[in-house]
C-alpha cells in the first residue's frame, strides 16, 4: 500500500513538472513580458528591484484580491510570489508557459498588463486586462474624484480636493448652508451617465444646491464586476473623507444618492463615519450580484443614515429584492418596468428606470404615489390592492413612513401617474 502511494505521489510530481504552471499572480506578470521577449529569469530579477513610490495621505485599507481570486493576488505590497511545486526543471516550465501564452494570445488579443505603481509599499495597483485592481487603497486617490456643480456652474464641475486635514472648498462655489447632494455612479459607468446627469440638472433646476458627482469609473470598468465590487469599500472610504471635510466646512444636510453598485458605496462610508450618520441615503436599484450573503456592514441597509429610501426596478437580475432601507419602493412590482420589453436591452432599461423615476420625482407636479404592502410574497399572491395611506416616492418622500411599498407608473416619460384612487385600481389588473 505504501509503495502504491509513493508511486502515485511521484506520478503527481511528474505531472506538475510537465505542466509547469505558475501561480496565477506570477502568470499575470509573465504574460505581457513574453509578448516583448523578456525571459522569466529577467522577470525574477526585476521583481527584486525597488519601484518608485507614490506618496498619498489619508485612509489606508489593506485588502487582498484573494477575496475573489483565491490566493492569486499580491498581498504583501512588495512582490508577487509563486510556489515551486516540486523542484521542476526550469526548461520545462519556460517551454510550457510559452505554449500556454501562445495559446492564450491566439484566443484573446487582450493582454494582461501589470503596472509598477506602489503606494507606500503597502500594495500594488495593477491591471488584469482592462481591470484595475487597486490593492493599495489609500485616500485621497486619483481614481476617485469629486466634482461640484451649483447654479453658478451647472455644466462645468469644479474639482474638489480633500485629504485628512484640509480641502479646497473655500476656493469653490460650495455654500455650507445649502443642502448637499452627492451622486455616485455604478458599474461600467461614470459621472457622465445621462440618467445621473439628469438627476443633477433636476436639482439645479429646482433650487440652490451643492451637487457633487463622484467619478470612480476606472475602478468600475467592465467586464470586471468582481474587481469593481472589491473596489467599492475603498470608494466608500474616500467618500467618508469627503464628508468629513464637508462637515468641517459647516455642511449639515448631506444626502447621498447611489445607483446600482454605487448604492453600496455610502454604506461603506457610513462604517468609517460612525458614530456620525449621514442625513439621508437614496439607493437606486442597489446591485444584487455578490451582495446577497454579505453582512449589513458590507451592503446598504437602514442603519447607514438617519433615513434610507430605496427604489427597486430590476430585482433578481441586477437589483436586490430584499428591503434595504427604512422605506423601499417596488416600482411596478420591482422586477420589470412597463415599456422596457419594447427596448433593445430590457434588463438595462429596467435597471436604469430607477434613476429616471427618481430624477423625474425631483420636480414632478403630480408625483409618484405608492401604498403599503406586507411584502413581496403578499404582492405575488395578489394580496396588495391599492390602499391608503398614500406615500409619495422620490425626493419629497415622507420620512415618517416605513416598510414595503408598491408604486405604479406609466410606460413612457413622464412616468408619474399622480395620486391614485382605490376604485380605479380595482378596475385594473396591476399584476399583469
Cα separation, 169 vs 151, in Å, equals 16
User: Which residue is catalytic, options 285, 301, 304, 309?
Assistant: 285
Given the residues 25, 167, 260, 361, the one annotated as active site:
260
Gap between the Cα atoms of 264 and 259, Å rounded = 8
- Assigned C-alpha cell, 63: 485588502
Report the distance separating Cα 271 and Cα 298, nearest Å.
9
Q: Is 260 a catalytic residue?
A: yes
Say how many CA atoms lie within 13 Å of 257 toward its Cβ: 25
Beta bridge partners of 180: 210, 254
Q: Is 351 a catalytic residue?
A: yes
Beta strands 123-128 and 153-160, pairing class: unpaired
Cell of 363: 420636480
Q: Which of 234, 351, 352, 405 is catalytic?
A: 351
Active site residue 234: no
DSSP structure string for 367-401: -EEEEE-S-HHHHHTT-----SSPEEESTT--TT-
> How buried is 19 (Cβ within 10 angstroms: 0-12 exposed, 13-18 middle, 19+ buried)?
middle
Catalytic positions: 260, 285, 351
Amino acid at each position: 500500500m505504501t509503495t502504491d502511494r509513493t508511486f502515485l505521489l511521484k506520478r503527481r510530481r511528474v505531472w506538475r513538472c510537465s505542466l509547469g504552471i505558475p501561480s496565477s499572480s506570477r502568470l499575470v506578470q509573465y504574460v505581457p513580458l513574453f509578448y516583448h521577449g523578456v525571459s522569466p529569469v529577467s522577470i525574477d530579477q526585476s521583481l527584486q528591484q525597488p519601484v518608485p513610490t507614490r506618496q498619498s495621505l489619508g485612509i489606508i485599507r489593506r485588502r487582498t484580491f484573494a477575496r475573489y481570486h483565491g490566493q492569486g493576488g499580491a498581498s504583501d505590497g512588495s512582490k508577487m510570489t509563486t510556489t515551486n511545486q516540486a523542484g521542476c526543471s526550469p526548461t520545462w516550465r519556460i517551454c510550457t508557459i510559452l505554449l500556454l501564452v501562445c495559446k492564450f494570445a491566439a484566443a484573446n488579443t487582450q493582454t494582461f498588463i501589470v503596472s509598477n505603481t506602489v503606494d507606500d509599499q503597502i500594495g500594488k495597483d495593477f491591471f488584469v486586462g482592462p481591470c484595475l485592481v487597486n490593492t493599495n487603497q489609500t485616500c485621497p486617490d486619483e481614481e476617485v474624484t469629486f466634482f461640484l456643480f451649483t447654479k453658478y456652474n451647472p455644466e462645468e464641475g469644479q474639482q474638489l480636493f480633500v485629504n485628512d486635514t484640509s480641502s479646497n472648498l473655500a476656493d469653490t462655489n460650495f455654500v455650507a448652508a445649502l443642502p448637499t447632494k452627492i451622486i455616485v455612479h455604478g458599474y461600467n459607468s461614470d459621472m457622465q451617465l445621462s440618467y445621473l446627469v439628469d438627476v443633477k440638472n433636476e436639482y439645479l433646476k429646482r433650487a440652490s444646491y451643492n451637487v457633487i458627482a463622484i467619478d470612480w469609473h476606472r475602478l468600475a470598468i467592465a467586464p470586471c464586476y468582481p474587481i469593481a465590487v472589491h473596489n467599492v469599500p475603498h470608494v466608500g472610504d474616500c467618500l467618508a473623507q469627503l464628508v468629513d471635510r464637508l462637515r468641517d466646512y459647516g455642511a449639515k444636510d448631506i444626502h447621498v444618492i447611489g445607483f446600482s453598485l454605487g448604492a453600496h458605496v455610502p454604506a461603506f462610508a457610513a462604517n468609517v463615519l460612525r458614530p456620525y450618520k449621514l442625513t439621508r441615503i437614496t439607493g437606486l436599484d442597489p446591485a444584487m450580484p455578490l451582495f446577497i450573503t454579505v453582512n449589513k456592514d458590507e451592503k446598504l441597509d437602514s442603519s447607514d443614515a438617519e433615513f434610507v429610501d430605496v427604489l427597486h426596478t430590476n430585482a433578481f437580475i441586477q437589483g436586490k429584492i430584499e428591503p434595504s432601507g427604512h422605506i423601499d419602493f417596488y416600482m411596478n412590482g420591482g422586477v420589470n418596468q412597463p415599456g422596457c420589453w419594447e427596448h433593445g436591452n430590457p434588463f438595462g432599461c429596467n435597471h436604469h428606470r430607477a434613476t429616471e423615476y427618481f430624477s423625474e420625482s425631483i420636480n414632478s407636479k403630480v408625483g409618484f404615489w405608492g401604498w403599503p404592502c406586507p411584502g413581496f410574497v403578499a404582492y405575488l399572491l395578489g394580496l396588495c390592492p391599492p390602499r391608503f395611506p398614500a406615500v409619495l416616492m422620490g425626493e419629497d418622500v415622507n420620512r415618517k413612513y416605513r416598510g414595503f411599498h408598491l408604486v405604479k407608473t406609466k410606460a413612457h416619460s413622464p412616468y408619474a401617474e399622480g395620486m391614485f384612487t382605490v376604485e380605479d385600481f380595482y378596475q385594473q389588473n396591476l399584476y399583469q
